Amino acid sequence: MKKIYGIIGDPIAHSLSPVMHNAVFEKLGLDAIYLAFRVSKDELGDAIRGAKSLGISGLSVTIPLKEKALSFVDAEEVAKKIGAINTIDFSSGTPVAYNTDGIGSLRVLKETVSEIKGKKVLILGAGGAAKAISFYLDAEGARVTIANRTKERAALLASNLRNANSIGLDTDTLTKRIEDSDILINATSVGMHPHEDATLVNADMMHPDLVVFDVVYNPMETKLLKEAKRAGVKKIVDGVKMLVYQGAASFRIWTKEEPPIDVMEKAVRDVLIQD
Ligand code: NAD
């Protein structure tokens, strides 16, 4: 029987996960389909219970459900510590949840810089993506600073890490901290379609040796990345690779098979180039 996978979130029409996973099912000849389901926070419990009853094999979970979903699943230890999930596996009968966002971002950064340990990393945002990314970087020995609009949320996230601190988002504070940082990561939704002209950091706040990584992947080249180019930044990373690596980690959990990364990346980039 055809296996059914999907992604739940709200809004969901923008998601490229269906195109990415369906390309893999086709390439590997698996009898499976991956669909997008718009689910509000209020309907989340019913949706997860319904998915289990309907025999759905696996779900991805996205904005704004990643934190609340923890209440309806058995979560793996790391996902519990992060405080957010993005993957549910139904193969054991009960829904078991994981967080693969941090794994995806860490793989991207390990391909970009020689050593994470000791690097000064400034993360913009304190939401689901920031929590997952900061957890893995902190565990690798990076010196993480969380910068968030609501300072209390930044402080709370930093206090849950081993070696992290927090700041607000005012330009002076940000500029000073960027001067002293090795890696800048935008883990907010600022710059995401349809607000493509927005950025929290401009060219005059960056230096050429900074690594600039934007987790936003739509558009592929965000305003932040354009500004980084203007500042002469040598290592610029868009959000597509992270999307692919977190998706690949989820795919392995669901199917126990190794997905072709190049097929996933091409499927996503092809759609984004057409936009
Ligand atoms: P979230 O809603 O949990 O968190 C959003 C964060 O952005 C919060 O910290 C919020 O304070 C901040 N923010 C929003 N608007 C802001 C503004 N105008 N000024 C300052 N800060 C602002 O969302 P999330 O799940 O953490 O996702 C954040 C972004 O990361 C989204 O664009 C999402 O698509 C992207 N994302 C990408 C990947 C990937 O694989 N590339 C994975 C996860 C999330």
Give the distance (Å) from ligand 1 centre to CA of residue 230.
24
| pLDDT value, residue 263 | 98
234 is catalytic: no
Same domain, 229 and 106: yes
**pLDDT at site 93:** 86
- Band the pLDDT of 30: cuts 50, 70, 90: very high
- Are 107 and 226 within one domain? yes
Residue 274 reports pLDDT greater than 90? no
Q: Does pLDDT of 275 surpass 80? A: no
Pocket of ligand 1 (CB under 6 A): 63-64, 66, 101, 104, 125-130, 148-149, 169, 187-190, 192, 215-217, 239, 242-243, 246
Query: What are residue 124's DSSP bridge partners?
Result: 147, 186
CATH number at residue 201: 3.40.50.720
Same domain, 227 and 149: yes
For ligand 1, atom 31, the nearest C-alpha belongs to 189
Q: Is 90 exceeded by the pLDDT of residue 112?
A: yes
Per-residue model confidence (pLDDT) at position 65 = 95
Are 217 and 245 in a shared domain?
no
- For 168-200, the pLDDT digits (tens) are 999 999 999 999 999 999 999 999 999 999 999
CATH number at residue 45: 3.40.50.10860
Measured from the CA of 217, which atom of ligand 1 is nearest?
A: 41
Task: Answer positive or negative: Cα dihedral of 102, 66, 236, 176.
Answer: negative
Ligand 1: which atom is nearest the Cα of residue 101? 42
Number of domains in the chain: 2
Q: How far apart are CA 141 and CA 150, in angstroms?
A: 25
Do 227 and 253 fall into the same domain? no
| 155 and 200 in a common domain | yes
Is the domain of 92 the same as that of 109?
A: no
pLDDT, position 14:
85
49 and 174, same domain (yes or no):
no
Q: Give, for 89, the enclosing helix (H) or strand (E).
A: strand 87-89
Ligand 1 centroid distance, CA of 30 (Å):
33
Buried-state track 181-212, b at ≥16 Cβ within 10 A, e below 16: bbbbbbbbebbbeeeeeebbbbeebbeeebbb
Q: Which two tokens stand for residue 199?
A: 């950025």
123 and 165 fall within a common domain: yes
Place 219 in a pLDDT band, splitting at 50, 70 and 90. Answer: very high
Ligand 1 pocket test, candidate residues 7, 17, 63, 152, most atoms within 8 A of CB: 63
124 CA distance to ligand 1 middle (Å): 9
Token pair 């759905």 is found at: 56
Region for residue 55 given its phi and psi (left: phi exceeds 0; alpha: psi -120 to 50; beta: otherwise): left
256 and 185 in a common domain: no
Please tell me the distance from the alpha carbon of residue 205 to that of residue 225, in angstroms, as a whole number. 13
Give me the mean pLDDT over the 147-170 stretch. 97
- pLDDT of 230: 98
0.85 exceeded by the pTM? yes
Burial class of residue 78, CB neighbours in 10 A (0-12, 13-18, 19+): middle
Nearest CA to ligand 1 atom 4: 127
Residue 261, pLDDT above cutoff 90: yes
Average pLDDT, the chain: 97
Could you tell me if 115 and 45 lie in one domain?
no
132 and 47 fall within a common domain = no
Residue 42's pLDDT band, with cuts at 50, 70 and 90, is very high
User: Which domain does 106 fall in, by range?
Assistant: 102-238
CA separation for the pair 98, 123 (Å, rounded): 22
Say which of 66, 119, 223, 241 is annotated catalytic: 66
Give the full edge-to-edge strand order of the sheet including 96-98: 32-38, 3-9, 58-61, 87-89, 96-98, 74-75
Mean per-residue pLDDT, 109-122 = 97
Pairing between β-strand 87-89 and β-strand 58-61 as defined by DSSP bridges: antiparallel
Q: What percent of the chain has pLDDT over 70?
A: 100
